[in-house]
Amino acid sequence: MINLSELKPSLIALAENAANAILTIYEQSKELLKVHTKPDRSPLTQADLLANSILLEGLKKLTPDYPILSEEGVHPPWKERKTWTTYWLLDPLDGTRPFISHAGEFTVNIALIVNHAPVLGLVYVPITHECYFAEAKTGAYKIDASGNQKNIHVRSWQTQHTHILTSHGARPERIQHHFGHLGNYTMQKLSSSWKFCLLAEGKADISPRLGNTSEWDTAAGQCILEQAGGVILDLKGEPLRYNTKASLLNPHFIALGDVGRLKEKCFPFPHKG
């Protein structure tokens, strides 16, 4: 096993290179963006492909023996993937739709998976030049645009008010139905793995996803949130696991900051009373 801490500077530089390439295209007029549609009907841009190329080339140099699974790469069949114990899991541009609409809510996601769990996570936010980084058993960190690094941790849940982060497609009535028992809350809509980072640095409390996501959408953010004291749990209350089945889709899940106080409020799901 490689020394993950020694990889940190190289990984951050690699993510920054991918982010800068994304921004070069982002700064073009929306009318100039070439958008294609993938077989699953999700959008694909030049920025997705360019960031993917940068990350693949860099990771192959850093760790030539580790397989790489990227949203924008070739997805090996389950027969091959199930033999992997260690591999990189990437989303070169998480939040392609807000990238296309110039909403700014997109990230670069890099995760290292070992025995079905993320042991390293990096989320880079191109629009703010902020980087979130975590390694198993070493804590989670945020590096700002000036290069200043600080340790981050989830916040203590205040029963008088709950801040819930959701995807843009979340229906307010469904959030009220499942989480209204928590009391007063605000609902903020945000795309990409940025949601997990805001939970990790104590700016929100809960982020449910009762819809489809893929494993590359959550792995990096899960590592960061877990090392900051939070969790991402499926609706059975178990942490998300990776590369355990042929499908690359995640189960529905709820991300929590203050696990000790919020897990009993949200599980079993749907919560009764």
Same domain membership, residue 142 and residue 10: yes
pLDDT, position 272: 64
CB contact set of 125 (below 8 Å; sequence gap of 6+):
19, 106, 107, 131, 132, 194, 197
Picking from 94, 136, 140, the residue whose alpha carbon sits closest to that of residue 118 is: 136
* β 162-166/43-45 pair status: unpaired
**Token pair for 213:** 């996501």
Q: What percentage of the chain reaches a pLDDT higher than 70?
A: 98
CB 109 within 8 A of CB 91: yes
Same domain membership, residue 170 and residue 76: no
Residue 12 within any structural domain of the chain? yes
Residue where one domain finishes, among candidates 152, 183, 207: 152
Confidence of residue 142 (pLDDT cuts 50, 70, 90): very high
What is the rounded average pLDDT of the residues 107-123?
98
Query: 191 is in which domain, residue-wise?
Result: 162-266
CB 80 within 8 A of CB 68: no
How many helices (H) and strands (E) the chain has is answered by 8, 14
Instruction: Give the residues across from 234 on adjacent strands.
Output: 253
Which CATH number covers residue 253? 3.40.190.80
CB 15 within 8 A of CB 59: no
For the CA atoms of 262, 264, 267, 272, the dihedral, rounded to the nearest 10 degrees, stands at -110
Would you tell me the crossing angle of helices 46-62 and 4-26 to the nearest 10 degrees?
Answer: 160
- Integer Cα distance of 67 and 55 in angstroms: 13
pLDDT, position 41: 84
Note the pLDDT tens digit of each residue in 66-109: 999 999 999 999 999 999 999 999 999 999 999 999 999 999 99
Which CATH number covers residue 86? 3.30.540.10
Note the pLDDT tens digit of each residue in 201-240: 999 999 999 999 999 999 999 999 999 999 999 999 999 9
- Integer Cα distance of 240 and 230 in angstroms: 13
Same domain membership, residue 147 and residue 13: yes
Same domain membership, residue 26 and residue 123: yes
Residue 198 within any structural domain of the chain? yes
Q: What percentage of the chain reaches a pLDDT higher than 90?
A: 89
Same domain membership, residue 218 and residue 107: no
Note the pLDDT tens digit of each residue in 156-179: 999 889 999 999 999 999 999 999
**Token pair for 78:** 């389950």
- Integer Cα distance of 194 and 202 in angstroms: 13
Total domains present in the chain: 2
Same domain membership, residue 78 and residue 112: yes
Which residue bears the tokens 């700002």?
144
Note the pLDDT tens digit of each residue in 44-67: 999 999 999 999 999 999 999 999
CB 115 within 8 A of CB 95: no
Alpha helices for the chain (secondary structure H): 4-26, 46-62, 78-81, 96-100, 172-179, 194-200, 215-227, 259-266
Confidence of residue 133 (pLDDT cuts 50, 70, 90): very high
- DSSP assignment letter at 273: -
Same domain membership, residue 53 and residue 142: yes
Residue 192 within any structural domain of the chain? yes
pLDDT, position 273: 53
Confidence of residue 3 (pLDDT cuts 50, 70, 90): confident
